[in-house]
Amino acid sequence: MQKRASVTIKKLFVDAHIASHPETQRICQRLDLPAEQVDDPSSLYQWINGAADPVSRGKQVLYLTRNKGGFLKACPGTREYTCCDYQILHVASFCTMDCSYCILQSYFHPPLLQFFVNREDLDAELTGLFTRRTISRVGTGEFTDSLIWERWSDLTGHLVSRFSAQEKSVLELKTKTTNIDGLNGLDHRRKSIISWSLNTPVIIAGEERRTAPLDARLSAAARCQRWGYPLAFHFDPMVIYEGCEADYRQVVKRLFACIRPENIVWISLGTFRFMPSLKPLVVQRFPASKIVYGEFITGLDHKMRYFKPLRIALYRQMVAWIRDAAPDVTVYFCMEDDDVWKKCMGFVPPPDGGLGRMLDSSAVKICELAP
């Protein structure tokens, strides 16, 4: 059985400009590692990129710095595929876990764990967000895993507290870990969704290094359910392999064996897709992996995607299995076109934010937001 995800930081670097920041001091004390101050990170970046495997080196090195841009960012969707109008809360970058298919391997240059300590700027942006009169769905799990930072940062508790004090926005914390102990006892007022990426045991064992096993993820979800949190689940990326249909059906059964449908805000579905630049990294770093050798075509977003009839066949089954267990749960596709929606769901979200409004409605209902 796999071990649960763990932080494996071996070297700590600190941006000299924020060395005296209170958050920097707290994290350094908790990590108990010698911190090397950096005036110019270019030498650090060169050292990471100079490794035989920069991705592996970057997962063991933490750079404390400040977010020089905005913390809140729009989801980087494309016009060709339906986007959910999610907002990313960019609190950190990269991940200590090691999934073969992870786009972050080729997205960040260099691939390096970075945590942003300028919480005062984060709070200012959240204050502005909370003054809006529209529903906002915000998540920290786009550029990192939301809960890998728990052992040495109290950011999660701070964010849960901030979101609990308002009525129009919901925070989604997305993870493949079981690092949930810090969530127990928080006054979340159902404004924070705890969500898990799910996959089959075959994919978790073969492609998701240092992540929690499926049963451990579901057990953690059940604990969060007992603590009153709304939940979400993401079957993304689904990987097509011989026997995958039976395996994914079993995952759906195991999910609903321990989680009440009325407590699930949404479930997303998406199949494996990747930029061509990711393939050589997967081949080099995961020589036993076969995921990049499937039946792929170039999509409208220039990503390699499974041949559409293969995607539709698997999606149809997943939608049917989920609806059999939970007819009222909101299910949606992550970055698929109208044809896929129509053939698998029986409808197409209206243009100009229709999917976003559908997810907003689910958040209002289950997270008890003010409409």
Concatenating the DSSP letter of every residue in 209-245 gives ETPPPHHHHHHHHHHHHHTT--EEEEEEEE---TTHH
Q: What is the mean pLDDT of residues 131-150?
A: 96
Every domain of the chain and the residues it spans: 70-110+119-366
- Pick one of 3.50.50.60, 3.80.30.30, 3.30.70.2740, 3.40.50.150 as the CATH number of 70-110+119-366: 3.80.30.30
Closest among 279, 282, 273, 272 to 302, alpha carbons compared? 273
For residue 54, pLDDT over 80 is answered with: yes
DSSP assignments along 124-152, one per residue: HHHHHHHT-SS-EEEES-SSS-TTTTTTT
Q: Which runs of E-coded beta strand occur in the chain?
A: 11-15, 35-38, 61-65, 72-74, 87-89, 92-93, 98-99, 113-116, 136-139, 169-175, 192-197, 208-209, 231-238, 264-271, 273-274, 296-298, 304-306, 331-333
User: If pLDDT is split at 50, 70 and 90, which confidence band does 3 have?
Assistant: very low
Helix, strand, or coil (residue 305): strand
Of the pLDDT bands very low, low, confident and very high (cuts 50, 70, 90), residue 5 is very low
Preceding omega of 280 cis (within 30 degrees of 0): no
Amino acid in the structure at residue 26: R
Nearest to 251 by CA among 312, 209, 208, 203: 203
Tell whether the model's pLDDT for residue 291 goes beyond 70. Answer: yes
User: What is the pLDDT averaged over residues 319-339?
Assistant: 96
Nearest CA to 349 among 338, 340, 362?
Answer: 338
- Average predicted confidence (pLDDT) for the chain: 95
pTM for the model stands at: 0.96
The whole-angstrom separation of Cα 184 and Cα 223 is 9
pLDDT of 333 higher than 80: yes
